[in-house]
């Protein structure tokens, strides 16, 4: 028995130097082309991750409990390793430092320079307090805005990347879509924006315009907030000004953010409840890109797309025989008449509209049927006629809506939006039967 134990033990002991020599040779060979110090590399790799020390502490603790092994040394080393692991886990991660003392930064992937954030909000250094976690309330307002738009128009707004930009003035901010600046505006920190309501009095302040809708407003000191409210002004803080501006910009440009990926996500959500609806439409009658273009057409004219079931059912009814995406979009608009009407109906249940001269409708329809192009002369006459009606006292404070026939609606909208983008063009088929129309005037030819 004694001979056997000594023989096996001597063999094991003889293998330990061979194992160490083999390990050392492997390290030397693999690091032959490295210029950094081996001792520093080993130290940094062991100490940079507390999990390695914690694992070693656990193994040493188990060895300390094995009968026949020296308990006290193993337990002491285990306690020391566990203590170091705890200390390093609580401390912030240290930077790897070169011999010269400069921090070594990881080289970014070249592909990272090709990535563009869908939405970006850049702020000057004076606006940083508005976006600091736990201090500013702009982040909370942006989150609420994304939930609001998802509920109201059915668009899932991508996360907004907020960062500082030293090239901006201290109190400036800019909004970018896929790296392209859409708008830039400046606010006054330490002040409130007082927007004049109808019949408001006079107060002292710095004249400006409310950025979202262009209404006349004043920047007033915070101490004058109560006075402004008593005088009939609507008072908002800088964070709310920016959040409101972003909301309006996303409503205006939301169709640009609707990619195929977002459309597929929306369809996947519908499939959970109505699996046959999507499978029957795509790809038998329409492609994913076709559905995307229809939804983009709706969002472009601010028609909500949250009722996807109605939209898809309408497309399924007409797509087998109609392949024109623009015509399909018009059919979908008709099926969403209640949603469209709700946007423009007043408190008394009426919709104030401008009718279109039958002569204009006839010329537009004949041009469309002939496959021709509307002449610049006619474009000028139509735009002049609309502008003349808009400058009448009847339309003060009223959203201008032009009512026309279904056949010419989309062509008239494309004609008008280049010159008067705020003008809404609706067809008779897009008005809910329960709504009452109130005619404010007629758009005529104007030379």
| DSSP secondary structure of 160-225 | EEEEE-TTS-TTEEEEEETTEEEEEEE--TTEEEEEEPTT------EEEE-TTT--EEEEEEGGGH
**CA distance readout (Å), 438 to 275, 309, 338, 403:** 43, 32, 18, 11
Q: What is the pLDDT of residue 96?
A: 39
pLDDT for residue 41: 67
pLDDT of residue 20: 75
Instruction: Specify the pLDDT at position 196.
Output: 82
Tell me, what's the pLDDT at 369? Answer: 82
Gap between the Cα atoms of 150 and 143, Å rounded? 11
Start-to-end CA distance of the chain, whole Å, equals: 120
Residue in 144, 240, 145, 142 with CA at minimum distance from that of residue 191: 240
52/40 Cα distance (integer angstroms): 16
Q: What is the pLDDT of residue 149?
A: 92
Those residues whose C-beta lies under 8 Å from the C-beta of residue 50, and which sit 6 or more positions away, are 84, 85, 86, 88, 89
pLDDT computed for residue 108 by the predictor: 63
Give kind and range of the element (H or E) at residue 425.
Answer: strand 424-427
> Residue 166 CB: number of other CB atoms within 10 A?
8
Nearest-5° angle of CA 291, CA 158, CA 214?
Answer: 95
Q: Respond yes or no on whether the N-terminal peptide bond of residue 165 is cis (omega within 30° of 0).
A: no
Q: What stretches in the chain show pLDDT beneath 70?
A: 1, 5, 12, 27-49, 90-114, 134-136, 372, 446-447
Q: How far apart are CA 20 and CA 14, in angstroms?
A: 11
Classify residue 394 by its DSSP letter: G
70 vs 11, 83, 152, CA distance in Å?
Answer: 21, 21, 71
pLDDT of residue 277: 92
pLDDT of residue 114: 67
pLDDT for 102 equals 46
Please write the tens of the pLDDT for every residue from 59-74: 888 878 877 777 788 7
Residue of 430, 437, 439, 440 whose CA lies nearest to 349: 437
What pLDDT, in 10s, does the model give residues 100-126? 444 445 566 666 666 788 899 999 999
How far is 231 from 443, CA to CA, in rounded Å?
Answer: 38
């Amino acid at each position: 028995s004694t001979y056997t134990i000594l023989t096996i033990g001597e063999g094991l002991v003889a293998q330990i130097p061979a194992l160490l020599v083999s390990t050392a040779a492997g390290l030397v060979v693999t690091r032959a082309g490295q210029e950094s110090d081996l001792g520093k590399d080993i130290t940094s790799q062991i100490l940079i991750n507390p999990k390695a020390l914690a694992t070693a502490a656990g193994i040493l603790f188990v060895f300390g409990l094995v009968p026949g092994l020296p308990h006290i040394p193993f337990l002491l080393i285990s306690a020391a390793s566990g203590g170091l692991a705890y200390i390093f886990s609580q401390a912030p991660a240290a930077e790897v430092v070169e011999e010269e003392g400069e921090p070594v930064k990881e080289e970014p992937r070249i592909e990272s320079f090709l990535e563009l954030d869908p939405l970006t909000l850049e702020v000057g250094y004076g606006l940083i307090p508005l976006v600091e976690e736990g201090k500013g309330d702009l982040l909370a307002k942006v989150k609420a805005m994304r939930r609001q738009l998802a509920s109201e128009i059915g668009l899932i707004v991508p996360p907004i990347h907020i960062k500082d930009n030293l090239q901006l003035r201290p109190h400036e901010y800019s909004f970018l879509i896929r790296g392209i600046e859409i708008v830039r505006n400046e606010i006054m920190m330490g002040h409130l924006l007082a927007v004049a309501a109808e019949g408001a009095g006079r107060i002292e302040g710095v004249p400006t315009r409310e950025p979202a809708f262009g209404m006349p407003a004043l920047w007033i000191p915070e101490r004058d907030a109560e006075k402004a409210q008593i005088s009939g002004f609507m008072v908002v803080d800088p964070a709310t000004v920016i959040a409101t501006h972003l909301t309006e910009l996303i409503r205006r440009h939301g169709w640009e953010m609707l990619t195929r990926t977002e459309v597929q996500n929306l369809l996947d959500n519908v499939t959970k409840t109505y699996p046959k609806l999507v499978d029957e439409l795509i790809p038998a009658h329409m492609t994913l890109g076709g559905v995307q273009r229809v939804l983009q057409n709706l969002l472009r004219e601010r028609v909500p797309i949250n009722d996807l079931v109605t939209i898809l059912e309408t497309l399924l009814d007409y797509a087998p025989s109609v392949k024109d995406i623009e015509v399909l979009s018009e059919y979908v608009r008709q099926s969403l008449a209640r949603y469209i009407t709700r946007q423009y109906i007043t408190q008394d249940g009426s919709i104030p509209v401008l009718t279109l001269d039958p002569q204009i409708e006839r010329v537009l329809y004949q041009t469309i049927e002939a496959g021709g192009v509307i002449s610049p002369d006619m474009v000028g006459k139509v735009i002049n006629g609309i502008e003349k009606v808009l400058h009448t006292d009847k339309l003060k404070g009223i959203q201008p809506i032009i009512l026309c026939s279904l056949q010419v609606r989309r062509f008239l909208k494309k004609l008008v939006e280049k010159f008067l983008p705020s003008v809404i063009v609706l067809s008779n088929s897009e008005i809910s039967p329960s709504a009452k129309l109130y005619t404010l005037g007629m758009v005529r030819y104007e030379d």
